[in-house]
Amino acid sequence: MQIYRTGSNESIYDIAAQFGVSPIKVAENNELEIRGRLPKGREVLVLTPSRTYNAKGTDTLGRIAERFKTTKESLMRLNPELGGREKLYSGQLLTIKESTPSYGMISTNGYLYASTPRERLIAIIPYLSYVTVCSAVYKEGHVHSLYPSEETVELIKSLGRVPMLRIYLTELPTESEVGGFASSIGILAASGGFAGITLSCLNTMTKDTERLDSLVFTVRRMLMENDLLLFVEGDLEEDTSYMEYADAGILTYDKLHVGNAPSFADGERAALEKFAYAGESSRTFLEISSFAYSGGKYIEKREGARLCDKRRAETVYDDEKMLKCASFGKHKRREILFESLENTKAKLELVSELGFMGISFDIGRVCIPDLMIAASMFDVISYPVMTPRVGG
């Protein structure tokens, strides 16, 4: 695995020739058009396989997996250009094996929204353990369904992954409402075919941590009685003590504002070390960023990258913070601040070093290179065996 920064006037073909790999794979793995020149300083992920295979006319993915003693899921992860499809053409170059992952195994959690295309979910499935369907909200004392999710749940199960239902809290239930709330979301999860609940209370957290702890504990106890899991989101810069009552936590944070630190070591590393040593990182997913920052607001990372490529943006790297700033435009300059691929790689190294259980991301917005880095460093657990915990 190489993270390559382009020089002046380079193309996909130039990079592929330099590393001796397929230009089609380089383009697909980085969600790039194969033709044209790339802007100077563009990060390109290059995966160098240790074994490849050219498909024959009668080959199927299942037969190839059996022949090389691997799995279709592994081949899907190593060949994202398949887009989740098993159809092959004669002569298609497949990566069979890369260097053996040295960081162990991880579980992954992906957020699925109504706007996410079905094809995108299928393409990302090989990188997933759990799929959190964002289809419910609690407001004005009631749980409201945002869209029908029955077909989605069946699809997730048919693909061998575990569906979770995300309940977004616009407000915290009162003390008298907690019992009814816990009971109702348990019934909603079970009747909808979900394995459990992902509780999102990031925007409703108050200084009353006792109330939040009580809510999570009550919900967890109610779900556990019905063999349902409880995941809870937490913000790195807030009190996350309530996460200890859940079966797993999902840790989110704003990379660009972690203590406004001057470097990765003083910012992300220091903050995550503090969390790991004080909490239970072994039951926590670490979020992979899906956004960039431009003009005082957040934009989708994938769209930002496409815009920069189209406008041949100039890129400057801050290797201390592991950030990149792309700017374009002659008269009115526009800047887009990104997490670099080096930052993603360093964060994933911390997942291993600090004992996090895995990573979490938005299925519709995550960049394929980020997932390819994770898949090349770790074995993704496709069939989780987590069960509701007993005890606090």
| CATH number among 3.40.50.720, 3.20.20.80, 1.10.8.60, 3.90.1640.10, domain 105-290+342-380 | 3.20.20.80
Residue 139 predicted with pLDDT over 80: yes
Where along the chain do the CATH 3.10.350.10 domains lie?
2-100
Residue 254 predicted with pLDDT over 70: yes
The confidence band for 278, taking pLDDT boundaries of 50, 70 and 90, is confident
Mean pLDDT of the chain: 89
For the stretch 87-108, pLDDT in tens is 898 888 899 988 767 789 999 9
Where along the chain do the CATH 3.20.20.80 domains lie?
105-290+342-380
Q: Buried (b) or exposed (e) across 320-355, using 16+ Cβ within 10 A?
A: ebbbbbbebeeeeeeebbbbbbbbbbbbbebbbebe
CA distances 383 to 101, 121, 160, 350, 375, Å, are: 18, 17, 7, 23, 15
Which residue in the block uniquely carries the two structure tokens 């309940």?
Answer: 167
Instruction: Name the least confident of 104-108, 110-114, 301-305, 356-360.
Output: 301-305
- CATH superfamily, region 2-100: LysM domain (3.10.350.10)
